[in-house]
Amino acid sequence: MIDLEAVRADTPGVAHCVHLNNAGAGLMPRAVIDVVKDHIDLEARIGGYEAKAQENERIEEVYASVARLIGADKSEIALVENATVAWQHAFFSQDLKEGDRILTAEAEYAANYIAYLQMRNRTGCVIDVIPSDASGATDCEALEEMIDDRVKLIAITWIPTNGGLVNPAAEIGRIARRHGIPYLLDACQAVGQMPVDVAALGCDFLSATGRKFLRGPRGTGFLYARAEMLKNTEPYMLDMFGAEWIKPEVYQMRPDARRFETWESALALHLGLGAAADYALDVGLDAIKTRAFPLADSLRRELAALPGISVHDIGADKCAIVTFSHEGVPAEVIAGALREKNINVSVSGPTSTLLDARARSLPDLVRASPHYYNNEDELKTFLEALRNITRS
């Protein structure tokens, strides 16, 4: 059970807005804000590297915290500046050749799909989309049938950006494992809103962001790379942090996942990410899911009852992302009007998940993503405002 008053008291932002954009960037708890602010101040006082030396143990602890969050070992974690960079570093390190197949999901995120297209242009590999089942999720039977020895990567988004869908990540993992196919899981919208266990998922790489449901600072992300995968994965790009320059003609990669990192980073933000992971672990990921998912469900029910509103979430089990549209008022107008009342939502346009948006003929969607710290009053405020906006 979450102590709602306590978590709200920990969140300065709730005094200033109704924040229902946790799938965009969650409101940071005070523990996160303080650690970032303090480290920047420390850097200003004693210098960047000197601050790093002083806080070295805490910086190391961030790896352990992030690892705990997803059931990994800290040697399997790389901290980077965002989820896209984490994902790209895993993806572009795959040695794909002409005719090799990448299997992906229908609701794949635009940034990833653009990278597939770039890889296709570069190597001649093939992008194949796994069909969705009747509920709208990735169809694992269809996936099984698609497998042949040319499939060199399965890369899917666990929870797409444009709705409540939760793809069957662990089932896909079992298929990938059975066939020995590398499996890259984009968990950007999953980490922080529900328990994540890389062993149960069976993924080889998992990428995530700090700023969304995990409530960390913007400009943070991480990559998990399974220890066994590291043995034969060389990052697409290396610098003197990922590898040592041991002889004029020889470099040697780091043994751990930090080979995907670069020398320079914003350590204040890393510390904030660690604080966010610790905070989520303290609250409890089961407890978070148990509060956030039903909150979203009740929102869906209320929205469905409003005249002119269509809820567009697909999938059997739905997460804390709710998307809808109104028959007469465009999503941008709704989001803008809500913003004037200090209610934060976001708009998910068709190009962020182009294949799915085309298949379902989706318009711009309003995305409301509550989190465990939101309360029922805030949802009422949001619904009331929405009624007024769509009535006129």
Partner 1 sequence: MADFDVSAARADTPGVAHGIYLNNASCSLMPRAVVDAVQDHFALAARIGGYPAASKEAPAQEAVYGSVARLIGAGPQDIALVESHTRAWQSVFYGLAFSEGDRILTSRAEYGANYVSFLQMRKRTGCVIEVIPDNNEGAIDCQALEKMIDDRIALIAINWIPTNGGLINPAAEIGAVAKRHGIPYLLDACQAVGQMPVDVERIGCDYLTAAGRKWLRGPKGTGFLYVRRERLADTEPAMIDDVGAAWHAAHAYELRDDARRFESHEHEPALRLGLGAAADYALALGLDTIRSRVRELAEGLREALVAMPGITVHDLGSERAGLVTFAHESVDAGAIVTALERQNICVKAVPREGALLDTVARNLPVLVRISPHYYNSEQDLEHVLTALRESL
**CA 270/CA 211 separation, integer angstroms:** 11
350-389 binders of partner 1 (CB under 8 A)? 351-352, 354-355, 358
CB of 247 to partner 1, least distance (A): 8
Q: Which is nearer to partner 1, 38 or 144 (CB)?
A: 38
Q: Which is nearer to partner 1, 13 or 164 (CB)?
A: 13
**CA 100/CA 151 separation, integer angstroms:** 6
Supply φ then ψ for residue 107, to 5 degrees.
Answer: -95, 35
Residue pointed to by tokens 């999953």: 190
Residue 332 binds to partner 1 (criterion: CB under 8 A): no
Q: Which of 98, 148, 232, 246 binds partner 1 (CB under 8 A)?
A: 246
Q: Which of 97, 135, 251, 332 binds partner 1 (CB under 8 A)?
A: 251
**CA dihedral over 84, 90, 93, 94, signed as positive or negative:** negative
How many helices (H) and strands (E) in the chain? Answer: 15, 15
**CA 7/CA 374 separation, integer angstroms:** 9
Q: Which of 126, 236, 290, 333 binds partner 1 (CB under 8 A)?
A: 236
Residue 33 binds to partner 1 (criterion: CB under 8 A): yes
H or E element in which residue 152 lies: strand 151-157
Q: Which is nearer to partner 1, 211 or 258 (CB)?
A: 211
Residue 69: how many other CB atoms lie within 10 Å: 25
Q: How many residues bind partner 1 (CB under 8 A)?
A: 78
Residue 44 binds to partner 1 (criterion: CB under 8 A): yes
CB of 238 to partner 1, least distance (A): 5
126-185 binders of partner 1 (CB under 8 A)? none
H or E element in which residue 14 lies: none
Q: How would you classify the pairing of strands 343-344 and 250-253? A: unpaired
**CA 66/CA 64 separation, integer angstroms:** 6
Residue pointed to by tokens 């043994």: 255
For partner 1, which stretch binds (CB under 8 A), given 69-77, 266-274, 306-314, 377-385? Answer: 266-274
For partner 1, which stretch binds (CB under 8 A), given 58-66, 139-147, 211-219, 377-385? Answer: 211-219
CB of 132 to partner 1, least distance (A): 16
End-to-end CA distance of the chain: 40
Q: Which is nearer to partner 1, 138 or 353 (CB)?
A: 353
Residue 267 binds to partner 1 (criterion: CB under 8 A): yes
- Nearest of 71, 84, 345 to residue 210 by alpha carbon: 84
CB of 19 to partner 1, least distance (A): 5
Q: Which of 200, 227, 240, 281 binds partner 1 (CB under 8 A)?
A: 240
**CA 288/CA 216 separation, integer angstroms:** 15
Q: Which of 58, 74, 179, 339 binds partner 1 (CB under 8 A)?
A: 339
86-125 binders of partner 1 (CB under 8 A)? 88, 92, 110-111, 113-115, 117-118
CB of 282 to partner 1, least distance (A): 19
Q: Which is nearer to partner 1, 246 or 305 (CB)?
A: 246
Provide CB contacts within 8 A for 155, sequence distance 6+: 91, 102, 103, 104, 108, 112, 116, 183, 184, 185, 186
Q: Which is nearer to partner 1, 168 or 216 (CB)?
A: 216
Q: How would you classify the pairing of strands 183-186 and 205-209? A: parallel
CB of 203 to partner 1, least distance (A): 20
Residue 9 binds to partner 1 (criterion: CB under 8 A): no
Q: Which of 84, 167, 189, 207 binds partner 1 (CB under 8 A)?
A: 84
Q: Which of 342, 376, 384, 388 binds partner 1 (CB under 8 A)?
A: 342
- Nearest of 102, 63, 109 to residue 224 by alpha carbon: 63
By three-state DSSP, how is residue 151 classified? strand
